Amino acid sequence: QVQLVESGGGLVEAGASLRLSCAASGRSFGSYAMGWFRKAPGKEREFVGAIDWSGRHTYYADSATGRFTISRDNAKNTVTLQMNVLKPEDTAVYYCAAHGGAGDYDLETSYVSWGQGTQVIVSS
């Protein structure tokens, strides 16, 4: 299974932007659709968005649509989550994950590999 490492989290004020990066190991990275999830304290892990294997198609949760953008560079084994106009409710640990090839993009059970997460804190 592909190994994933997130980076780029931090503490920012509401309205700011952050770019999260997910570095993948393995030559098969380009075969995986990739997802981003987040988990806030006391809440279930929730879907943020996903990108297909080619990078031509993206999918977003309602909370992310219009503010977040997912992209990938298969040559560099990297997937990125650009987050703009951050809100306090975006505070969470953000995870990237590799899709297993079947199942809905917005379900955790569809993914076979997960990164360790990176913390995002958005202050009011």
The fraction of the chain above a pLDDT of 70, given in percent, is 99
Structure confidence by residue, pLDDT tens digits, 71-121: 999 999 999 999 999 999 999 999 999 999 999 999 999 999 999 999 999
* Residue among 26, 123, 19, 58 at smallest CA distance from 8: 19
Could you tell me the two tokens for 86? 């951050």
CA dist., res. 93 & res. 102, Å (int): 25
pLDDT in tens, 23-42: 999 778 888 999 999 999 99
8 Å CB contact between 122 and 66: no
Count of residues making up the chain = 124
Tokens 């190991």: give the residue: 25
